């Protein structure tokens, strides 16, 4: 479904990604793990069209993405939940969700989708008339996920959605993501610092380091391999327990 | 006497809000400053003047035509002037937008002088000069009309921004353009529409100017100054606060005229402008 091949991305003169290749198949949850500055978020921003690869291929359902504007890529069925809490603060929860269904295809079915999102996360329905800026961090993150779902994406990109949330909230959020995946079979590409949680959720994983993919494999294998855990996430896995 | 001063302050204040609201919208959405805003106000006034003189259309009824014509001009301005600014890094765009629209003033003002000569123009409608007694206070008929028009325009703008998908996409883009584009919102198209609306609003304000005062090719700067002061009162880019900010400026100006004399009318606004920038740069009415 999503195919990235030998992609190089630069920030000015600085090389941020070096020959990154990865694939996400339809219906899979794939996670991208690695330390800070390893290039995980850069990879997602390249898929969305915020960054242009200097060379390489980014393809979605057979179509090349590299020349398209961000909103065109969104229209093709890719939605991203960003790492900062970027709700539209001055708008109500309902207005945020409604904007999620901005695109023609999703707009027609927005009432059904809204019911579904509210069922998934009743707190959003309770607070639907409230300004999004007044929500707690966890609720804002849930709103961002809900807003992305409103566009009925084929591929959902999640960028460090656990960042800054308490362990309990993170657990709930991941449970919701799992439910979404189970009920819709939505394809998900997940970038996470919380390696343990991410590996438990995902089917497959890629490990990134200094802008390059250094390992890939089944998520379950990473979880059970002590050597790999110590090498790449040493301290982090301890913290997760 | 006091009641009369307050009444004039309210009238002029509401009119100031109309003059400034377009500029506030443009800045709020695009983070560009349009120094030529006042020149567009003047052009709107000339269009009303023309419609009145050539076709005999009442200035108040000409406002829809002015809005449409100025909207189209706004689209052209975006394409020619603002769109190329995207080549610059984000931090340099504001400054460059000021430079390029400053140049635009020279072009527009001379174009206006070429089209309508540099004589001072005003519209004398059948009801100009008529006064209505309201609770013992004298209110010019045209001022009352301008207040009605302002309420209507700001009300429609509010409904448009809060009830329609396009309006909501403009608001979303103003708050966070990256997040908006991830939802499939075409940022360029949003900017284009916002620029059209901004210039259209300036044009409607021009109709009010030509009814209440007069216009000449080089008088745009005066309305630009008023708009800037209202914007600083409201907080840069805040659209809802513009109405209160206009009222505040109108009332304080009239109070200044009463206490110091008419010569100091403009001074009051400019002194407050500097004080607010020093003491409360986020604006009087910003939270």
ipTM of this predicted structure: 0.88
Chain A contact set for B175 (CB, 8 A): 88-91
> Is B171 touching A (CB cutoff 8 A)?
yes
Residue with tokens 């001063």: B5
Measure CA A238 to chain center.
24
A residues 194-233 lying closer than 8 A (beta carbon) to B: none
Cβ contact (<8 Å) for A70 and B175? no
Least Cα distance to B199 among B16, B47, B26, B13 occurs for: B26
Q: Return the residue of A nearest to B174 by Cα.
A: A88
Backbone φ and ψ of A81, nearest 5°: -100, 120
Cβ contact (<8 Å) for B184 and A75? yes
Give the number of C-alpha atoms closer than 13 A to the C-alpha of residue A137, restricted to the C-beta side: 12
Low-confidence ranges of chain B (pLDDT < 70): 286-287
CA distances from A55 to A18, A51, A58, A67, A214 (A): 10, 12, 10, 12, 19
Structural domain for B117, as ranges: 19-240
- Structure token digits, residue A53: 């690869």
Per-residue pLDDT at A231: 60
| Residue B276 covered by a domain | no
Chain B contact set for A48 (CB, 8 A): 182
Residue A83 DSSP label:
S
List the single residue in B178, B180, B184 with the smallest CB-CB distance to A50.
B178
Per-residue pLDDT at B38: 96
Q: What is the 3-state secondary structure (H, E, C) of B49-93?
A: HHHHHHHCCCHHHHHHHHHHHHHHHHHHHHHHHHHHHHHCCHHHH
> Is A89 touching B (CB cutoff 8 A)?
yes
> What contacts A78, CB < 8 A, 6 or more positions away?
A47, A48, A60, A153, A154, A155, A157
Three-state DSSP at A28 gives coil
The Cα B179–Cα B4 span in angstroms is 49
Domain count, chain B: 1
| Residue B270 covered by a domain | no
> Is B163 touching A (CB cutoff 8 A)?
no
The Cα B111–Cα B19 span in angstroms is 21
Chain A contact set for B177 (CB, 8 A): none
The Cα A188–Cα A26 span in angstroms is 9
| Residue B102 covered by a domain | yes
Closest approach of chain B CAs to the CA of A71, in angstroms? 4
CA distances from A187 to A99, A114, A125, B31 (A): 22, 20, 25, 37
Cβ contact (<8 Å) for A48 and B172? no
Backbone φ and ψ of B176, nearest 5°: -165, 95
List the single residue in B165, B175, B181 with the smallest CB-CB distance to A88.
B175
Q: Return the residue of B nearest to A49 by Cα.
A: B182
pLDDT tens by residue, B166-214: 999 999 999 999 999 999 999 999 999 999 999 999 999 999 999 999 8
List the single residue in A71, A90, A95 with the smallest CB-CB distance to B181.
A71
| Residue B263 covered by a domain | no
Strands A29-33 and A204-209: parallel
Find the length of chain A: 241
Per-residue pLDDT at B287: 62
Give the predicted TM-score (pTM) of the model.
Answer: 0.89
Query: Which helix (H) or strand (E) is B160 found in, with range?
Result: helix B141-163
Chain A contact set for B162 (CB, 8 A): 95
The Cα B49–Cα B115 span in angstroms is 12
Cβ contact (<8 Å) for A103 and B169? no
The pLDDT mean for chain B works out to 91
Least Cα distance to B38 among B216, B235, B227 occurs for: B227
| Residue B10 covered by a domain | no
Strand partners, A22: A4
Domains of chain A: 2-77+154-240 (3.40.50.300), 87-153 (no CATH)
Average pLDDT per block of 10 residues along chain A, 241 residues long: 92 90 94 88 93 93 91 94 86 94 88 90 92 91 92 93 86 90 92 87 92 89 72 50 42
Go through A145-155 and write b for each residue having 16 or more CB atoms within 10 A of its CB, e for each that does not: bbbbbbbbbeb
Cβ contact (<8 Å) for A86 and B184? no
Closest approach of chain B CAs to the CA of A217, in angstroms? 30
List the single residue in A90, A91, A103 with the smallest CB-CB distance to B184.
A103
| Residue B265 covered by a domain | no
Residue with tokens 């014509």: B69
């Amino acid at each position: 479904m999503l195919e990235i091949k030998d992609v190089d991305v630069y920030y000015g003169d600085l090389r941020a990604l070096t020959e990154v290749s990865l694939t996400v198949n339809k219906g899979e949850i794939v996670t991208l793990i690695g330390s800070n500055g390893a290039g995980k978020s850069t990879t997602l921003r390249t898929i969305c069209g915020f960054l242009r690869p200097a060379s390489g291929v980014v393809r979605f359902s057979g179509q090349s993405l590299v020349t398209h504007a961000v909103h065109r890529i969104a229209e093709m069925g890719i939605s991203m939940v960003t790492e900062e809490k970027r709700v539209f603060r001055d708008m109500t929860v309902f207005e945020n969700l409604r904007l999620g269904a901005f695109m023609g295809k999703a707009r027609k079915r927005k009432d059904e989708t809204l019911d579904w999102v509210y069922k998934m996360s009743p707190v959003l329905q309770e607070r639907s008339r409230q300004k999004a800026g007044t929500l707690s961090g966890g609720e804002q993150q849930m709103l961002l996920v809900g807003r992305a779902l409103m566009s009925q994406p084929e591929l959902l990109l999640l960028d460090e959605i656990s960042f800054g949330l308490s362990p309990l909230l993170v657990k709930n959020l991941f449970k919701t993501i799992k439910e979404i995946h189970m009920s819709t079979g939505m394809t998900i590409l997940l970038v996470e610092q919380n390696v343990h949680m991410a590996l438990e959720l995902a089917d497959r994983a890629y490990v990134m380091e200094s802008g390059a993919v250094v390992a890939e494999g089944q998520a379950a294998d990473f979880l059970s391999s002590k050597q790999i855990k110590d090498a790449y996430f040493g301290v982090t896995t301890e913290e997760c327990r | 006497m006091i009641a009369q001063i307050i009444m004039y302050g309210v009238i002029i204040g509401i009119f100031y809000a109309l003059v400034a609201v377009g500029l506030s919208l443009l800045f709020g959405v695009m983070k560009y400053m349009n120094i030529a805003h006042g020149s567009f106000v003047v052009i709107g006034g000339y269009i009303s003047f023309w419609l009145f003189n050539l076709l005999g259309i009442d200035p108040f009824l000409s406002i829809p035509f002015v809005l449409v014509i100025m909207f189209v001009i706004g689209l052209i301005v975006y394409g020619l002037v603002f769109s190329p600014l995207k080549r610059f890094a984000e931090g340099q765009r504001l400054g460059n937008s000021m430079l390029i629209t400053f140049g635009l003033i020279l072009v527009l003002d001379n174009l206006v002088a070429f089209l309508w000569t540099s004589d001072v123009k005003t519209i004398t409608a059948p009801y100009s000069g008529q006064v209505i007694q309201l609770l013992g206070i004298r209110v010019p008929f045209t001022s009352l009309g301008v207040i009605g028009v302002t309420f209507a325009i700001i009300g429609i703008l509010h409904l448009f921004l809060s009830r329609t998908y396009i309006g909501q996409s403009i608001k979303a883009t103003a708050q966070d353009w990256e997040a908006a584009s991830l939802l499939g919102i075409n940022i360029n198209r949003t900017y284009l529409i916002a620029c059209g609306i901004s210039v259209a609003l300036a044009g409607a304000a021009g109709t009010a100017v030509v009814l209440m005062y007069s216009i000449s090719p080089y008088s745009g700067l005066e309305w630009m100054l008023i708009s800037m002061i209202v914007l600083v009162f409201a907080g840069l880019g805040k659209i809802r606060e513009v109405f209160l900010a206009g009222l505040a400026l109108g009332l304080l100006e009239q109070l200044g005229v009463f206490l110091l004399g008419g010569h100091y009318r403009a001074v009051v606004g400019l002194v407050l402008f500097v004080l607010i920038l020093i003491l409360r740069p986020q604006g009087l009415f910003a939270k």
